[in-house]
Homo-oligomer: A and B are copies of this chain.
Amino acid sequence: VARRRTLEIRTLGELEAAAAALLPEAIRGYVNGGAAEEVTLRENHAAFGRWTLRPRVLEEVRTLDLATKMLGAEVRAPFFIAPTAYQRAVHPDGERGMARAASHVGILAVFSTLSSDSLEAIARAAPSGPRWFQVYLQPKFVDSQALAERAERAGYSALVVTVDTPVLGSRDQQLASGFAMENPVALGNGRNVVSPPRPPGGPGPRFPLEGGSEASWELLRRLRETTTLPLVVKGLLRAEDAQRAVEVGASAVIVSNHGGRQLDRSPASLDALPEIVEAVGDRVEVYVDGGVRRGSDVLVALALGARAVGLGRPPLWALAVDGEAGVGRFLGLLSSELATSLAILGRRSVQEVDRTDVRPAPLGRSTS
């Protein structure tokens, strides 16, 4: 199958199928798969259906303002590209293409420690950003520290610390697809920078994890003291953890279940958002990722208190379909749909969207 031309992506809805038709099975399994039976993966999107948007009519919406600020920096829309690994496995344009497409239109992109391009190369590809860098708390703290320093030098403006992966989740679709975590593509930031460990097979009374997960609140505090970059803590699903993150010095939190890839039966991100907004929303910015696919999804999340929403798989699908140009097309479609939805909702600016714009959907609603 030849790659589709960008112009042929007419709707956001077509994106997933278009990418699925193009990606090799193993890569598709890696990108799309979730943990175990993928209950959480499905619920991530289904959770948006638990809310209805309540349009106001005849509001004067001649101008539509999608811009917001994330940690003080203006972005052109309240969504960002969430960190995902190995982007060159999806398309040769890789992280650099992703960075250029996002930067070109003023959208924040977050890049992964497990990027296929080096963080410095990504920064050079799109010097004006905005861009953040994602880190795991590495088994050796000096590795975390080194990454933080490189990111700072390369002009990344925040560190996103992923805290929901003491080990990698059990990902059936990925495993069944034959995806080999170890070598999908070369790693841009060096092989000593490891991804979270997987527990060994076989039951035992107790076993040390391979490599040993050292992640802890104490390490987060050390990182906070080490770097001058603001910290964004990613992977929270409980109010208590969000409070603790704020106490440790986080500037923002991302409500996330790692795209449904870690613990099946954990809550949909959107379902966890309200309790975290309630707990820390007056002190730090709260973002959410997981299940966002359409403009109306963005509005629901904003109405529930998110400052912005992250998207993981959709930009990868767009990258798969047409590289940098595909990502640009995707960002354009999503912006346009968000603007359309905002206008019909009767709001001029995404910053006006609030809790009165949503209401719980009736319980008897269709779940399909």
Contact call A201/B66, Cβ cutoff below 8 A: no
Among A35, A263, A264, A299, chain B packs the most CB atoms within 10 A around the CB of A263
Q: Is A202 at the interface (CB under 8 A from chain B)?
A: yes
Chain A residues 296-337 with CB under 8 Å of chain B are 296-297, 299-300, 331-337
Among A209, A213, A296, A334, chain B packs the most CB atoms within 10 A around the CB of A296
Shortest beta-carbon distance, A240 to chain B, in Å?
8
Chain A residues 51-78 with CB under 8 Å of chain B are 51-67, 74, 76-77
5 additional A-B pairs beyond A58-B241, A199-B343, beta carbons within 8 Å, are: A51-B265, A54-B267, A59-B216, A61-B166, A367-B367
Contact call A335/B209, Cβ cutoff below 8 A: no
The 6 closest A-B pairs by CB, nearest first: A203-B335, A201-B332, A263-B344, A57-B163, A67-B205, A11-B172
A: which residues have CB within 8 A of B?
10-14, 35-37, 39, 42-43, 46-67, 74, 76-77, 105-107, 163-170, 172, 175-176, 198-209, 212-217, 219-220, 235-238, 240-241, 244, 257, 262-268, 271, 293-297, 299-300, 331-337, 339-341, 343-346, 359, 361-368
Report the separation of the CA atoms of residues A51 and B50 in the bound assembly, to the nearest whole angstrom: 17
Q: Which residues of B contact A237 (CB under 8 A)?
A: 54-55
Report the separation of the CA atoms of residues A335 and B204 in the bound assembly, to the nearest whole angstrom: 8
Report the separation of the CA atoms of residues A17 and B138 in the bound assembly, to the nearest whole angstrom: 38
A-B contact pairs, 17 of them (CB 8 A): A13-B37, A55-B164, A57-B164, A58-B163, A60-B214, A62-B209, A74-B205, A76-B204, A167-B340, A170-B295, A200-B336, A201-B332, A201-B335, A203-B332, A264-B294, A364-B367, A367-B367
- Specify the chain B residue showing the minimal Cβ separation from A264: B296
Please judge, given known A-B contacts A336-B201, A340-B169, whether A50 and B362 are in contact too, CB under 8 Å: yes
Q: Which residues of B contact A76 (CB under 8 A)?
A: 203-205
The answer, among B36, B37, B204, B341, for a CB contact under 8 Å with A66, is: B204
Contact call A46/B264, Cβ cutoff below 8 A: no
